[in-house]
Homo-oligomer: A and B are copies of this chain.
Amino acid sequence: MASKLLVDIHTHVYLPRYASLLRSRTSVPFIRSSTSRDGKLDERLLILDHEPSGGRPVGPQYWDRDEKLQFMDKHGIDVSVVSTANPWLDFLPASQASTLAKELNEDLEQYCSDSPILPNAPIKRLYGFGLLPLVPEITTKSLLDTVEQISKLPHLRGLIIGTQGVGKGLDDEALDPVWTAIEAAGLVVFIHPHYGVDNKAWGDKDNGHVLPLALGFPFETTIATTRLILSGVLDRFPSLRLLLAHSGGALPQLSSRLASCIDHDPVVASRLKHDARYYLGKLYLDAVAYGPEELGFASDVIARSGRYQTGASVTGPAVRSLGSQRMLFGTDHPFFPPLNSTEKWKSVVENLDAIDAVQGWTQTDRDGVRGGNAVALFNLVG
């Protein structure tokens, strides 16, 4: 039964406590309220610098659990593993981030723990990724305390992080004690973008959110993960379970180029135990890439990783089917809403259709990507 579930592992929330904080602020990130001509409350979310078009409309789909469940029902999603949306606590001073992380983790546990149980399996409908207070000047003790808190909250099965670490990125050795604790606790780390790259890259034309979202977000994930690889984190913490947003961004397509560039720099190459492509097989990727060719290719890149382990004797083509076992369905809800509120969300339908259309995946593989892999990775029982 559990192998046929549809599980959404990329789905966000601004918990009420977090939404209140955003409403209290007047600079990014914040929620700006106004009253429209017909007397209705109009709330706009501004989370990016230079947010185009005055922010995006927000409403209860961002904070109300019933809305999440309704969305899930509408699309046949059995279980969601929910995470706070970007920019998390990145913008807060250390003491406030530390306190709020703990409160929001408790809030999210509550959000999940009294959610309905599936009719046919001993599985709740909601699980969660906790938050760490990853901000400059935070103490390691505060980070470790929060890892411990998350590991003890029964419905939190991982944590979501951005790419800034404690100010110097995820390749900062100051994070080694945190990776140690996360690895020991068996928590899944969901790496998610927020900052993109320098806005100057997008030029003068008004293309709305298209360039920062379509390109900047995946570039950021690609850079952060590559820096993790180059800094040896995946060598030092081989059991760390990292889940990358948006199918790893551009990392799969640039991974052989990356390996070649490393190969031509003996100093960098000497620091790594394996060819860069080996490490992609240690990752988990969401299946939020909107196209079957992208998903199939990402699974190829996972599947081929064995060829690139130092000393490996594996040769021959990648077995795409194997790579599917590290890919997991997601929706990015409540972002990318439909233009007409009564229809099924195109962003969801496209990702489901893409899973169905990947060449070389068996029905078992598709069922895995739709939910079976998530049940296993997050140990979704109880």
Binding site for B on A (CB under 8 A): 168-169, 171, 197-198, 200-205, 207-211, 213-215, 218-220, 222-223, 226-227, 230-231, 246-247, 249-250, 252-268, 277, 289-294, 296-298, 300-301, 304, 317-318, 336-337, 339, 346-347, 350, 354, 357, 359
Verify A293–B289 contact, CB threshold 8 A: no
Complex Cα gap A200–B202 (Å)? 16
Knowing A169-B203, A250-B222, A253-B250, say if A211 contacts B227 (CB, 8 Å). yes
A74 to chain B, nearest CB (A): 18
Closest B residue to A347 by beta carbon equals B260
Contact B254 A218 (CB under 8 A): yes
Decide: B223 and A201 in contact? CB cutoff 8 A. yes
- Give 7 closest A-B pairs by Cβ, nearest first: A256-B291, A250-B250, A198-B198, A256-B290, A297-B297, A214-B261, A253-B253
- Which residues of chain B come closer than 8 Å to A246, judged between CB atoms? 257
Min CB distance, A272 to chain B, in Å?
Answer: 11
Copy number in this complex?
A: 2
| Residue in A209, A211, A291 whose Cβ sees the most chain B Cβ within 10 Å | A291
Contact pick for A258, options B171, B214, B304, B336, CB 8 Å: B214
Closest Cβ of chain B to A221, distance in Å, is 11
Q: Known pairs A293-B300, A297-B297, A317-B357. 10 more at Cβ < 8 A?
A: A168-B203, A203-B227, A210-B261, A214-B257, A214-B260, A215-B223, A215-B254, A257-B290, A266-B339, A296-B297
28 contacts between A and B (CB under 8 A): A198-B200, A198-B201, A201-B219, A203-B227, A205-B227, A207-B268, A208-B265, A208-B267, A211-B226, A214-B262, A215-B226, A218-B253, A219-B250, A249-B250, A250-B250, A250-B253, A250-B254, A256-B290, A256-B293, A256-B294, A257-B289, A260-B290, A260-B350, A277-B291, A296-B297, A297-B297, A297-B300, A317-B357
Given A213-B261, A253-B252, is A318 in contact with B293 using a C-beta cutoff of 8 Å? yes
Of all chain B residues, the one with the shortest Cβ separation from A303 is B293
A82 to B: closest C-beta gap in Å: 21
Q: A253-B250, A290-B257, A346-B263 are in contact. Are A214 and B201 (CB under 8 A)?
A: no
A178 nearest CB across to chain B (Å): 17
Contact flag A317-B359 (CB < 8 Å), given A210-B261, A211-B227, A263-B346: yes
* A219 partner residues in chain B, CB cutoff 8 A: 197, 201, 215, 219, 250
Asked whether B268 lies within 8 Å of A210 as measured between CB atoms, the reply is yes
Query: Once the chains are docked, how many angstroms separate the CA of A61 from the CA of B124?
Result: 65
Residue in B205, B260, B262, B354 whose beta carbon sits within 8 Å of that of A230 in the complex: B205
Residue of B nearest to A203 (CB): B169
Report how far A201 CA is from B195 CA in the complex, Å: 10
With A168-B204, A215-B226 given, is the CB distance from A336 to B291 under 8 Å?
no
Is A257's CB under 8 angstroms from B336's CB?
no
Q: Chain B residues near A262: list those with CB within 8 A.
A: 210, 214
Residue from B171, B211, B249, B347 within 8 A of A264 (CB atoms): B347
Contact B198 A226 (CB under 8 A): no
Instruction: Given A222-B215, A227-B203, check contact A208 B257 (CB 8 Å).
Output: no
Min distance, Cβ A162 to any Cβ of chain B, angstroms: 14
Q: What residues of B have a CB within 8 angstroms of the CB of A215 in the complex?
A: 219, 222-223, 226, 250, 254, 258
Taking CB atoms, residues of chain B closer than 8 Å to A168 are 203-204
Return A348 CB to nearest CB of chain B, in Å: 11
> Which residues of chain B are within 8 angstroms of A197 by Cβ–Cβ distance?
197-198, 201, 219
Distance in angstroms from A140 CB to nearest chain B CB is 19
